[in-house]
Amino acid sequence: MPSISWRARTVQASPIRKLKPLADQARRAGKRVYHLNIGQPDIPTPKEYFDGIRQAAQGVLAYSPSQGLDEALDALAEYYRTFGIALSRDEMIVTTGGSEAITFALLAVTDVGDAILVPEPFYTNYNSYAQITGIQIVPIETRAEDGFRLPDKKTIEAKISPKIKAILFCNPGNPTGVVYTKAELAMLAEVAHKHNLYLIADEVYREFTYDGAQAISVLQLPNLEDRAILVDSISKRFSACGARIGVIASKNASVMESALKFAQARLSPPTLEQYGLIHLLRSSQYQNFVREMIAEFARRRDLVYAELQKMPGVICTKPQGAFYVTAKLPVEDAEHFVRWLLTDFSLDNETVMLAPAAEFYATPGKGRDEVRIAYVLNTDALQRAMRVLREGLLAYTNSPVMQV
Amino acid sequence: MPSISWRARTVQASPIRKLKPLADQARRAGKRVYHLNIGQPDIPTPKEYFDGIRQAAQGVLAYSPSQGLDEALDALAEYYRTFGIALSRDEMIVTTGGSEAITFALLAVTDVGDAILVPEPFYTNYNSYAQITGIQIVPIETRAEDGFRLPDKKTIEAKISPKIKAILFCNPGNPTGVVYTKAELAMLAEVAHKHNLYLIADEVYREFTYDGAQAISVLQLPNLEDRAILVDSISKRFSACGARIGVIASKNASVMESALKFAQARLSPPTLEQYGLIHLLRSSQYQNFVREMIAEFARRRDLVYAELQKMPGVICTKPQGAFYVTAKLPVEDAEHFVRWLLTDFSLDNETVMLAPAAEFYATPGKGRDEVRIAYVLNTDALQRAMRVLREGLLAYTNSPVMQV
């Protein structure tokens, strides 16, 4: 048998999805499993999105232009304008999800053997995009105890080598819930200028901010037109994860011409889904939808944070954005605990699934006692899930068998 | 300004799509342009597909599993069974178009710096997938004069080096219209066994065969379970190019585990589109749809081939499959001629757009006098387009200005 490639052997299986068989097993055993392990919200997708799909669902389902439908680009331009971001058609490409937007950005600015800086913990699939594009991730370390704020400029600059071509960061942050301040972003911009790096900002959680925090877009920063690249997605803000519609945007024409060539290779993003987006963005309803959804997520965040505060030995900061909280647990091996919750524990026949955080870190050993909790269920379900977690944590930490 | 990557500078702009601005210009000047340059058929997508989308267009538009919805995998298994191909769920992954299926196959079996053999001329986007995955394409030369049949085994084996990990081929062939014989496929299988290579077959045109020719799937070949990889797409057979639904399938568990890890990185293929496919494949109508569509394409092929035969100096073989014919024209530079048709020529205010074939070749200089014609319009439109081509060709070859 011919062998498979080194990159296939070494690319990670999704740490978020790899425990799914255990969850399936728990379900088959009759347990209810609260899924706080994956960023799939339970909020119904806006009706206007589906209306747009229905209206377009006829005739020939043709390729769209590789760059996306003109109407989709125009509707997106309008959307960005509400944030004070002016983008022309040529400065955007509709991508097949945010995943593809990140891949295009990396292909455009790095070659095989290059590297990028990424604040850790980071969205674990960045590892896969790095593996697919043949580059290294050099982590900028941040810590739960410091609320995952960025370190100072000197610490970041110490990580820079000629191989580093870009800084990739997620703002608001998955899995940290951090929203970067103007000062933090200005500092990143300064580093990018001084060391001739691109700044790639993953802003798929733009609207998910709480307590008056506001996410500043990389495209709103001054004098950064030549090196700012926005990667975006409608998955979270319109609760349309299954649409697979994202965006890459930049004022740097070479970057966009490059991304377009990669986009042409895969022909087009899904056509009907773009019509859904166009119809939604043209309706007056979408901003209300987002507003109400964020209010709901704020309640969820408050609940989850309050419950975590009550659990002995749990350390976390109140997240300001996105819909995750990364928490340190009083356990040695959070993955073992997460597995145990699925295989050995239940409360009133219910259990909970979390994402072990170790694989959100590039630094070996870090995050081993942390989990990421996605507060993507309604408050009733979250209340029950938090109860299961609290009791599970007590049972686990008190069980002599579990003291590894 | 930081520079863009070498791979971005060198990846090709789609030769099929790069002349679009000239076509837009012709249209703005009031000309009708017959698009025979791109494999986008005019056949309405089956109603059952759209019905499936409509029924599913509600609630939460969630990620599907990375591998695809179970129901989609089961419906696909049924589809393949009608060709005598038995596939279990684990032997398939639903991909975002055939493009992604090819990329996953290449990532799974090659590393950066490796190479693959591909009979040329080949679907030009293979160049982009090779560039994205950091590998080389080594062409197996075939010629219009020989009807693009494969050369003998010795000629193919002479191309093999330790860097070659797979043979990628398209059957029925884009852009050649070739359908490989049992003997040709057996020869490729023999080469694959002897030199420990994978066989990756792009079979998106499976049903598009004429005059009783039948496309044999790589998964129907004996003793090839460990090295056969099928890449597939619903774009052509269900006239659903904009759906972005493809398949990678193999009996080699390591290949499928590898592909699944790459699939997890991009989360999921479009969800609603899978429901469209499920509903279509479960209906009793889809086989009728395909049968009628193929009959229509057979008429188109006959018309285009007959018209090309009448044009002095044009050389081509009657294609047995797919919906393309690659023809040698009595011109020196087919791209110049294609541009000229858009910018300088019209007949009754109509013109035609073709794909210059040079970029379907990896060997420099080859195919310079060839074009690919996609017969994707109805017979009336094709008749007019062929008339434009005939007159255009006469005018071009008789024009002293155009004698380069």
User: Taking 60 as the threshold, does the pLDDT of residue A240 lie above it?
Assistant: yes
- Of B278, B232, B223, give the one whose Cα is nearest residue B251: B223
Statement: residue B14 has pLDDT above 90: no
Task: Identify the closest residue of chain A to B260 by CA–CA distance.
Answer: A13
Nearest chain B alpha carbon to A123 = B265
Residues B253 and B294 reside in one and the same domain: no
A345 with A329, same domain: the answer is yes
What is the average pLDDT score of chain A?
Answer: 95
| Domain annotation covers residue B51 | no
State the virtual CA torsion across B238, B241, B243, B246 in degrees, nearest 10: 80
Interface check A261 vs B, CB under 8 A: yes
Closest residue in chain A to residue B223, using alpha carbons only: A1
B301 part of a folded domain = yes
Q: Which of A170, A167, A225 is nearest to A198 (CA)?
A: A167
B107, B241, B273 member nearest A132 (Cβ): B107
Nearest-CA distance from A394 to chain B in Å?
33
Instruction: Tell me the pLDDT tens digit for each residue of A23-57.
Output: 999 999 999 999 999 888 999 999 999 999 999 99
Residue B20 binned pLDDT confidence (cut-offs 50, 70, 90): confident
CA distance A278 to A4: 42
- Domain-embedded: residue A403: no
The CATH number assigned to the domain holding A59 equals: 3.40.640.10
Say yes or no: A57 and A180 in one domain.
yes
pLDDT tens column, A135-161 = 999 999 999 889 999 999 999 999 999
Same domain membership, residue B263 and residue B191: yes
Measured between CB atoms, which of A41, A42, A60 is closest to B239?
A: A60
Chain B residues within an 8 Å CB radius of A4: 108-109, 254-255, 258
Query: Peptide bond preceding B2: is omega within 30 degrees of 0, i.e. cis?
Result: no
In contact, B61 and B271? CB cutoff 8 Å? yes
Task: Compute the mean pLDDT over every residue in chain B, rounded to the nearest whole number.
Answer: 95
In this structure, chain A runs to a length of: 404
Q: In B, which residues are within 8 Å of A256 by CB distance?
A: none
The identity of residue A59, as a single letter, is: G
Q: Which residues of chain A lie closer than 8 angstroms to B355, CB-CB? A: none
| Residue finishing a domain among B218, B252, B282 | B282
Q: What whole-number distance in Å separates Cα of residue A33 and Cα of residue A19? A: 12
Contacts of A107 in chain B (CB under 8 A): 5, 7-8, 11, 132
Q: Are residues A361 and A217 in the same domain?
A: no
Q: Which residue of A7, A16, A61 to mutate against B (max B Cβ within 10 Å)?
A: A61
pTM score, whole prediction: 0.96
- pLDDT of the residue at B215: 97
How do residues A113-142 score in pLDDT, each as one tens digit? 999 999 999 999 999 999 999 999 999 999
Is there a single domain that holds both residue B267 and residue B300?
no
Chain A interface, mutation test: which of B55, B103, B266, most A Cβ atoms within 10 Å?
B266
B275 and B301 housed in the same domain: no
Contact A6 B45 (CB under 8 A): no
Residue A377, domain extent: 6-44+287-396
Q: List B residues 20-59 in contact with A (Cβ-Cβ < 8 A).
A: 38, 40-45, 49-50, 53-54, 57-59
Q: Kindly state whether residue B335 falls inside one of the protein's structural domains.
A: yes
Nearest CA in chain A to B9: A258
Question: A397 CB near a chain B CB, below 8 Å?
Answer: no
Q: Under an 8 A CB cutoff, do B272 and A268 touch?
A: no
CB pairs under 8 A between A and B: 244
Q: Which of A282, A309, A329 is the last residue of a domain?
A: A282
Least confident of A173-182, B18-27, B171-180: B18-27
Residue B202 lies inside a defined structural domain of this protein:
yes
Please report the residues numbered 219 through 238 in chain A whose beta carbons come closer than 8 angstroms to any beta carbon of chain B.
226-227
Q: Which of B261, B266, B267, B229 is nearest to B248 (CA)?
A: B229
DSSP string, A198-235: EEEEE-TTTT-B-TT--PPPGGGSTT-TTTEEEEEEST
Question: In Å, how far is A330's CA from the nearest CA of chain B?
Answer: 30
Number of domains in chain B: 2
User: Which pLDDT band holds residue B400 (cuts at 50, 70, 90)?
Assistant: low
Cβ–Cβ gap A265/B99 under 8 Å = yes
SS (H, E, C) B47-101: HHHHHHHHHHCCCCCCCCCCCCCHHHHHHHHHHHHCCCCCCCHHHEEEECHHHHH
Q: Does residue B107 belong to the interface with chain A, where contact is any CB pair within 8 Å? A: yes
Shared domain for B278 and B297, answered yes or no, is no
Query: CA A198 to CA A182: how far, in whole Å?
Result: 18
Looking at beta carbons, which residues of chain B come within 8 Å of A42? 60
Residues A259 and A234 in one domain: yes
B2 and A57 in contact by Cβ < 8 A?
no
Answer whether B241 sits within 8 Å of A62, measured CB to CB: yes
On whether any CB of chain A is under 8 Å from the CB of B10, the answer is no
Same domain, B195 and B298: no
Within-domain flag for A404 = no
Read off the pLDDT of residues B350-399 as tens digits, 9 standing for 90 and up. 999 999 999 899 999 999 999 999 999 999 999 999 999 999 999 999 88
Q: Do residues B19 and B86 share a domain?
A: no
- At A302-339, the pLDDT tens digits run 999 999 999 999 999 999 999 999 999 999 999 999 99
For residues A361-382, average pLDDT? 95
Domain boundary among the residues A282, A303, A318 is at A282
| The predicted structure's pLDDT at residue B24 | 93
Shared-domain flag, residues A65 and A40: no
Distance from CA of B103 to the nearest CA of A (A): 10
In a domain, A1, yes or no: no
- With CB atoms and an 8 Å threshold, state whether A242 touches B107: no
Number of C-alpha atoms within 13 angstroms, CB side, residue A289? 18
CATH code assigned at A328: 3.90.1150.10
Cβ pair A54:B57 closer than 8 A: yes
Contact B262 A8 (CB under 8 A): yes
Say which residues have a Cβ less than 8 Å from residue A193's Cβ, sequence separation at least 6.
A223, A227
